[in-house]
Amino acid sequence: MDVMIRRGDSCWYYSRLFSIDLQLIHDSNEGIDPNQLAIGQRVKIPGFVASDYQLKAGDSLWSIARNRTISLDALFLLNPSLNVNTLQIGQVIFLPLRITWRLVTANQEYSYARMINDLNRLRQVYPFLKMPSAGETVLGKSIPEVLLGKGDKRVHYNASFHANEWITTLTVMTFLNDYLLSLTNQNPIRGVWMNQYYQQTSLSIVPMVNPDGVDLVLNGPPEDEPYRSRVLDMNGGNDDFSGWKANINGVDLNDQFPARWELEKERNPPNLGPRDYPGEEPLTEPEAIAMATLTRKRDFDKVLAFHTQGKVIYWGFENLEPSESRSIAAEFSRVSNYEPIQSIDSYAGYKDWFIQDWRRPGFTVELGQGVNPLPLTQFPEIYEEALGIFLAGLYM
């Protein structure tokens, strides 16, 4: 929602009028000097939308403000040309509507198109969100990154490295939505006030690392050649891609990183396919290159990669992880009841590479339990387990 500045208005006044943190208003209006607002300039108010209302018999601005618990001045602010002496039945005015519900819903499979639609809706309501592109997929889809927060602590979450683990994207997106609701409605999550973490932590999220693969699992092969014929051939002619983990080229993106990659290459399938093929060399695939480039650019203090399944937290690699990784993993375990495991016989993963090259805490979190892709019926349980980890990732 945006409003037009009147004489004497200020961002501080809008903060009081709409009960929105002043920092969020400033961050929603980058490029506007809050000390030099001009009459007629538009200012975005995060957490609100302007809702149409058709006047009925007996309505007055005073009765509408009283019944809707809206400041009368907020009504005039949204309707600057309104004349209270000429109101008519059927006339449409705008009311400020505070968003108190999730825009991200878990009512169907979560494709790339659904994610992009949800991100655009979130950006419209919460304009302090920043959404640069981390790169592009093989098929040219943008890989969005979401940036949230002002602090010096740099934390990164990602999901759907593997195509049939798309439920991890829905889980991360739901947390993002809840974080935004907490900030703009000043409600804690599990007793945690999120405003302090907005000030202390800069959170980077790549909610879907592998969009081409996710769409292959959910929607079947693309129409474009040669990709359609290739994926069908790699899948043995079967048009059921529910077991597909790789990108559209048949390369497993979480086996693409230069962290003892040669060992992974030796024991994994030698050819392109639905899963586990690490490529001819590290970092050949555009999605893996995008994640490596982003990680170098942002210089994260801590990374969490969300996968399915197993209800475990992997926190080490070749004993190169820092000492605090153990205590962070213990806290993740406490809030989720997931089992912390230092390492397994696995190499070339994103968190492995991060630990190896930065010697900072990196984690692979395996959400839920069962056979991938996990069904949507598991989502409520998965989200409740993951929520504690999302929060702990900010405060640890």
User: How far is residue 126's CA from residue 128's CA, in Å, rounded to a whole number?
Assistant: 6
| Sign of the dihedral defined by the CA atoms of residues 280, 275, 347, 258, in that order | positive
CB-CB neighbours of 91 under 10 Å: 13
Active-site annotation holds for 395: no
H/E segment holding residue 44:
strand 42-44
Identify the active-site residue in 145, 165, 366, 385: 366
112 alpha-carbon distance from chain centroid: 12
Give the C-alpha distances (Å, rounded to integers) separating 278 from 262, 268, 355: 9, 7, 19
DSSP one-letter code for 318: T
CB-CB neighbours of 76 under 10 Å: 15
Identify the active-site residue in 157, 347, 350, 383: 347
Q: Give the N- to C-terminal CA distance of the chain in Å, as an integer.
A: 34
Helices (H) and strands (E) in the chain, counts: 14, 13
What the block records as the tokens of 88 is 């008519």
The overall longest dimension of the chain from CA atoms, in Å, is: 81
User: How far is residue 83's CA from residue 275's CA, in Å, rounded to a whole number?
Assistant: 66
Active-site annotation holds for 277: no
What DSSP assignment string belongs to 102-126?
A: -SS--SS---HHHHHHHHHHHHHH-
DSSP one-letter code for 189: B
What DSSP assignment string belongs to 294-322?
A: HHHHHT-SEEEEEEESSSEEE--STT-S-
CA torsion angle for 27, 28, 33, 35 (degrees, to 10)?
A: -80
What amino acid positions are annotated as catalytic residues? 347, 366
